[in-house]
Chains A and B, each alone.
Chain A
Amino acid sequence: MFLLLIALPLRYAGAQEHKPASYLDFGAGFFQVKDGKNYGLVFNGGMLNTSFMLRGHHGNHLYDYRVDFGFGPSFAKGIAGINIKLNLVNMDYCFRLAGNNSFSLYLGPYLGLNYQFQLYPELHSGHLLWFTFYDLGPRLILEADLWEQHFRFSFSGAVLGLVSRPVEMNEVYYYSLKVSDIIGKLHSNFKGGSIDVMNHIDFETEWKIPGSVKSSLAYRLEYQYYRPQASLDYLSHTIMYRMKLGTKKSAQ
Chain B
Amino acid sequence: MKGNRTIILLAGFAILLAGQACLKHDPLNQPFKGYQPVQIDDGLIISDPASEKVDGDALRDIYLDMHDEGLYWQFRSMLIFRNGKLISESYMKDDADISRRHLIWSCTKQFMGVLVGIALEEGLISDINDPLSDYMPQTAGYPDKAGISIRNLLMMQSGIDYSNDGTQGQTDKILRQLPDNITEFILDRPVYTLPGTDFHYNDGDPQLLSAMIQHLAGKPTDEWADDVLLSRIGIENYNWVRYRDGITLGGFGIETTPRELAKLALCVADSGHYDGHQIIPGDWLEEMLAEQVIIDEDYAFGYFWWIDRNREISFMAGHGGQYAYIIPQKELLVIMTSIPNTQGDHQINFADANPIIDRIISICQ
Chain A residues in the interface with B (C-beta under 8 A): 32, 34, 39-42, 76-79, 102-103, 121-127, 142, 144, 146-147, 151, 153, 155, 170-178, 203, 205, 219, 221, 223, 233, 235, 237
Q: How far is the CA of A102 from the CA of B6 in the complex (A)?
A: 13
B241 contacts the other chain (Cβ, under 8 Å)? yes
Chain B residues within an 8 Å CB radius of A142: 7, 11
Q: Contact at A219–B343, with CB atoms within 8 Å?
A: no
Closest Cβ–Cβ distance, residue B53 to chain A (whole Å): 36
Chain B residues within an 8 Å CB radius of A42: 23-25
Chain B residues in the interface with A (C-beta under 8 A): 3-4, 7-8, 11, 14-15, 18-19, 21-28, 73, 93, 102-103, 166-167, 172, 175-177, 241, 249, 252-253, 255, 339-344, 346
Closest Cβ–Cβ distance, residue B91 to chain A (whole Å): 13
Q: Contact at A123–B346, with CB atoms within 8 Å?
A: yes
Beyond A219-B18, A237-B19, 6 additional pairs, beta carbon < 8 A: A34-B26, A39-B73, A122-B343, A123-B339, A219-B15, A221-B21
Q: How far is the CA of A153 from the CA of B13 in the complex (A)?
A: 13
Q: How far is the CA of A32 from the CA of B167 in the complex (A)?
A: 27
Q: Contact at B103–A171, with CB atoms within 8 Å?
A: yes
Q: Contact at A125–B18, with CB atoms within 8 Å?
A: no
Q: Contact at A153–B73, with CB atoms within 8 Å?
A: no
Given known A-B contacts A42-B23, A237-B19, A171 and B340 have beta carbons under 8 A apart: yes
Chain B residues within an 8 Å CB radius of A77: 73, 346
Q: Contact at B175–A175, with CB atoms within 8 Å?
A: yes
Indicate which residue in A125, A219, A235 contacts B341 across the interface (CB closer than 8 Å).
A125
Q: Contact at A173–B7, with CB atoms within 8 Å?
A: no
Closest Cβ–Cβ distance, residue A130 to chain B (whole Å): 16
Closest Cβ–Cβ distance, residue B243 to chain A (whole Å): 9
Given known A-B contacts A79-B346, A171-B103, A203-B18, A144 and B341 have beta carbons under 8 A apart: no
Closest Cβ–Cβ distance, residue B322 to chain A (whole Å): 12
Q: Contact at B346–A41, with CB atoms within 8 Å?
A: no
Top 3 closest A-B pairs, CB basis?
A40-B26, A125-B341, A221-B18
Q: Contact at A223–B11, with CB atoms within 8 Å?
A: no
Q: List 19 A-B contacts (CB under 8 A).
A: A34-B26, A40-B26, A40-B27, A40-B28, A76-B25, A103-B4, A103-B7, A121-B166, A125-B341, A127-B341, A155-B14, A172-B255, A173-B249, A174-B176, A174-B177, A205-B11, A205-B14, A233-B23, A235-B21
Closest to A219 in B: B15
Closest to A77 in B: B73
Q: Contact at A40–B341, with CB atoms within 8 Å?
A: no
Q: How far is the CA of A223 from the CA of B252 in the complex (A)?
A: 40
Q: How far is the CA of A187 from the CA of B253 in the complex (A)?
A: 28
Closest to B8 in A: A146
Chain B residues within an 8 Å CB radius of A78: 346
Most buried by A among B21, B25, B344: B25
Q: Contact at A174–B175, with CB atoms within 8 Å?
A: yes
Chain B residues within an 8 Å CB radius of A203: 14, 18
Given known A-B contacts A125-B343, A171-B341, A32 and B23 have beta carbons under 8 A apart: yes
Q: Contact at A102–B4, with CB atoms within 8 Å?
A: yes
Chain B residues within an 8 Å CB radius of A170: 341
Q: Contact at A126–B176, with CB atoms within 8 Å?
A: yes
Closest Cβ–Cβ distance, residue A78 to chain B (whole Å): 7
Q: Contact at B176–A177, with CB atoms within 8 Å?
A: yes
Q: Contact at B22–A235, with CB atoms within 8 Å?
A: yes
Chain A residues within an 8 Å CB radius of B18: 203, 219, 221, 237
Q: How far is the CA of A219 from the CA of B16 in the complex (A)?
A: 11
Q: Contact at B176–A39, with CB atoms within 8 Å?
A: no
Closest to B21 in A: A235
Q: Contact at A126–B25, with CB atoms within 8 Å?
A: no
Q: How far is the CA of A219 from the CA of B17 in the complex (A)?
A: 13
Closest Cβ–Cβ distance, residue B54 to chain A (whole Å): 30
Q: How far is the CA of A34 from the CA of B167 in the complex (A)?
A: 26
Q: Contact at A41–B22, with CB atoms within 8 Å?
A: no
Closest Cβ–Cβ distance, residue B327 to chain A (whole Å): 28
Closest Cβ–Cβ distance, residue B57 to chain A (whole Å): 29
Q: Contact at A173–B103, with CB atoms within 8 Å?
A: yes
Q: How far is the CA of A34 from the CA of B176 in the complex (A)?
A: 27
Q: How far is the CA of A126 from the CA of B102 in the complex (A)?
A: 17
Closest Cβ–Cβ distance, residue A232 to chain B (whole Å): 11
Indicate which residue in B11, B167, B249, B346 contacts A153 across the interface (CB closer than 8 Å).
B11
Q: Contact at B342–A123, with CB atoms within 8 Å?
A: yes
Given known A-B contacts A122-B342, A235-B21, A173 and B11 have beta carbons under 8 A apart: no
Chain B residues within an 8 Å CB radius of A144: 4, 7-8
Q: Contact at A34–B7, with CB atoms within 8 Å?
A: no
Q: How far is the CA of A90 from the CA of B340 in the complex (A)?
A: 38
Chain A residues within an 8 Å CB radius of B255: 171-173
Closest Cβ–Cβ distance, residue A200 to chain B (whole Å): 14
Q: How far is the CA of A147 from the CA of B5 in the complex (A)?
A: 10
Chain B residues within an 8 Å CB radius of A34: 23, 25-26
Q: Contact at B176–A176, with CB atoms within 8 Å?
A: yes
